Amino acid sequence: MSKAATANAPQSYTLVDNTTGKKIELPVLDGTQGPQVLDIRKLYNDTGAFTFDPGFTSTASCESAITYIDGDQGILQHRGYNIEDLAVQSDFMEVSYLLLNGELPSVEQKKTFVNAITRHTMVHEQIQFLFRGFRRDAHPMAVLCGVVGALSAFYHDSLDIQDPQQRMISAHRLIAKIPTIAAMAYKYSIGQPFVYPKNDLKYAENFLHMCFAVPCEEYAVNPVTARALDRIFILHADHEQNASTSTVRLAGSSGANPFACIAAGIASLWGPAHGGANEAVIKMLQEIGDKKRIPEFIKRAKDKNDGFRLMGFGHRVYKNYDPRATVMRQTCHEVLNELGIKDEPLLDMAMELERIALEDDYFVERKLYPNVDFYSGIILRAMGFPTALFTVLFALARTVCWFAQWKEMIEDPNQRIGRPRQLYVGAKPRAYTPLHKR
């Protein structure tokens, strides 16, 4: 392939068939930031060939105006705003509005949005019976997948995806109800009664109350914990076309309703290579058990014959420190300090692990840095959340992004059903042999 752009013309690439000499122009698309994108939409028509990119390492699957990541520089921006600014100066409701609507809200717009979300925090009373069908020892992510998928069975009146008003109602319902469902999954797993939402509390406060209050005594939300949790929600809110978001978009491209699509996103998030990593980090640190054993685990992580990976390390896009991890590490210190936790062996071990890994050639050469999941579990543990709930909290925060990305796709006039092709490597045509002759 040779680059064939002229000074004033839009850039394009020329693909040359080395056998026939036939040339095909591939136009180049420019975004507002980031690498150029080769437009290969006509490639199959022009050449009869597909492209091959398992894992989508070189493929832009859509146009999006929501989030921008520069993985080499360690930059993450939502609608143009740096994540560090949003995490420190904004709050989760404001970031949710920004992701959904494209602009930061005015005072009045924020009030209206928060009111709309607050009005939808309760779930249909029948949903508690749905919970009772699950085993008490079920993983809360399994429960979350099931209950969120079931929401389309409860809220039929907002399922017309072509109606902007119904789309908005579904967005408000999902953002408002996901903390209620997540807290119910937790309460169910420990055999405590469900706690109804309290609408005089803010979003993160309400979630903490639903998780940790019991009917027999007063529960006062700790403002430090609430603020830190709100920040954790912001840090997890969106991350462009990752596995779970792409799952939501692909599911939605067939016209499926947003509740069903987001249940699919939750299923994808659960894997340890994605949102399940926060739970896996704590399990890994507990397994290491002592700083003295870190070199042994680093050695295992580098051994290609050992399936072990350093959880909370590495990222498909970031080849630099994940900016969310920087804020998360800082928040971790602040929270432990303010909660009066002087000695947290897991934090000491995490910092030592990070130090050793970042000096090791294997990690340096591959540009493997801590990601968002490396420190989040330590904070969540200090707040009192059990490990099994960590990925549920990730899903809670990511719901707004899934909705914003789904909505962007539905509103795109060029939207078509997602239908990847394949490189077929199976059997060639062959004659069927009847069973009695095999």
* Residue 74 found at the interface with ligand CMC (CB under 6 A): no
Question: Any catalytic annotation for residue 315?
Answer: yes
Q: Which of 110, 198, 274, 291 binds ligand CMC (CB under 6 A)?
A: 274
Closer residue to ligand CMC in complex, CB, 283/316: 316
Q: Which of 316, 345, 348, 364 binds ligand CMC (CB under 6 A)?
A: 316
Catalytic residue among 230, 238, 322, 373: 373
Cα-only R_g, the chain: 24
Helices (H) and strands (E) in the chain, counts: 18, 7
Closer residue to ligand CMC in complex, CB, 140/197: 140
Q: What token pair was written down for 244?
A: 């779970």
Closer residue to ligand CMC in complex, CB, 198/309: 309
* Residue 299 found at the interface with ligand CMC (CB under 6 A): no
* Residue 366 found at the interface with ligand CMC (CB under 6 A): yes
Q: What is the DSSP string of 389-438?
A: GHHHHHHHHHHHHHHHHHHHHHT-TT-----------SPPP-----GGG-
Tell me the per-residue interface mask from 231 to 250 with ligand CMC, x by CB under 6 A, - otherwise.
-----------x--------
Q: Where are the beta strands (DSSP E) in 136-292?
A: none
The residue assigned the tokens 């998360």 is: 328
Tell me the residue nearest to ligand CMC as measured from the CB: 314
Measured CA to CA in angstroms, residue 163 lies from 153, 160, 249, 307 at distances of 18, 6, 18, 48
Residue 73 CB neighbour total at 10 angstroms? 11
* Residue 373 found at the interface with ligand CMC (CB under 6 A): yes
Catalytic residue among 78, 139, 172, 315: 315
Q: Which of 180, 241, 371, 405 binds ligand CMC (CB under 6 A)?
A: 371
Q: What's the rounded Cα separation, in Å, for the pair 304 and 33?
A: 36
Q: Which among 425, 412, 310, 417 has a CA at the least distance from the CA of 65?
A: 412
* Residue 309 found at the interface with ligand CMC (CB under 6 A): yes
Closer residue to ligand CMC in complex, CB, 175/235: 235
Catalytic residue IDs: 315, 373
Q: Which residues bind to ligand CMC, rule: CB under 6 A?
A: 242, 273-275, 277, 301, 309-316, 366, 368, 371-373
